[in-house]
Amino acid sequence: MTGRPLRADNETRTRDLNLGKVALYQLSYVRLHFLAVSPALSASGTVAHARLGAKIGSPHRVSDPRRSPGQAARRSPRVAPMRAWLNGTLLADPTEGAVAVTDHGFTVGDGVFEAVKTVAGTPFALTRHLARLERSAKGLGLPAPDLDDVRHGVSAVLADGAAGDPIGRLRITWTAGPAPMGSGRGGGPATLVVAYSPIEHAPRETSVVTVPWTRNENGATAGLKTTSYAENVIALAHAQERGGTEAVFANTAGNLCEGTGSNVFYVLDGELRTPTLAAGCLAGITRELVVEWCGAREVDEPLAEVRKRASEAFLVSTTRDVQAIARWDDRELPAPGPVTQQCADTWAAREAETMEP
């Protein structure tokens, strides 16, 4: 595939997909138990730590007599092994948090992060991700992270067994560090966390739901990958309740913007398109590479028009790669359409060539 804009075959017919009953997505609720919080704080507020233990489910859940213990076990969510590194130390038990309760990333979401895919223990496009981490930190007014430290943390969490995982996810988090209660910062030192866990490959296709809330393309954090994700949590829950795995936002102008954790591409009038960064969407690494490799045109258009007229569409993200949209609200789409399939094939071929594109 060349870098020129892709055009769909005019003779390509949209397949009639009968999805039947929309799958119901069940949320797994994590109950956090604060085991012990020391009331003794140092003058700078950096000593006290929250001891967090996570348990899946509720001790008060009533068992279903129609299900055998074996069935219950098979349906229980699998807790994937995780490794975490905090400010230079590999944690013995990453489920017991060691971040100060006064950390501004914990109290007000004053932090930035990156999610990086790994393939057999090797990070994909790590250099691009770290460059964006620096840009997000600068945009939020945080000091620049030491990228050598970040890479050391990445190596630490991948050193023991990650090579045996077909696919995994790194989470690199950089926060403002301890601060007084409230919005004002305390001057650091900043907190750096690197965590890793194996994940499953994303399905080839999915359903998305347009949400009634908008992205503010003029906001102070527009385009930054911050840890303030409450808006995304609400939107994604809204989508999941309606059978989707992703929520799609318009911006305040009514133009297509992005998903909660993905960028959107679509084919309109035979041309591959995606919103511009001025629309307020995140400058996704996967988005960046698809634009480079597949020649999409960046343009801002009304979400309602895109949803109504697009002949095919797909999501891109670190863990989705190129994922076809089979249903957008109540509209069915070919999944994958011919352009989507070309992009997926190109992605797979180029990813196989290098892990540092």
CA atoms of 327 and 205, how far apart (whole Å): 9
CA atoms of 237 and 234, how far apart (whole Å): 5
**pTM to 2 decimals?**
0.78
Per residue of the chain (357 residues), give pLDDT as tens: 445 454 444 443 333 333 333 232 222 322 222 222 233 333 333 333 333 333 323 333 333 333 333 333 333 344 458 999 999 999 999 988 789 999 999 999 999 999 999 999 999 999 999 999 999 999 999 999 999 999 999 999 999 899 999 999 999 999 999 999 999 999 879 999 999 999 999 999 999 999 999 999 999 999 999 999 999 999 999 999 999 999 999 999 999 999 999 999 999 999 999 999 999 999 999 999 999 999 999 999 999 999 999 999 999 999 999 999 999 999 999 999 999 999 999 999 999 999 999
E strand or H helix at 239, and its extent? helix 230-241
Give the phi and the psi of residue 132 in degrees, each rounded to 5. Answer: -70, -35
Domains of the chain with CATH codes? 81-199 (3.30.470.10), 205-353 (3.20.10.10)
Q: State CA 227 to chain mean position distance.
A: 11
Residue 183 has a CB neighbour count (10 Å cut-off) of 10
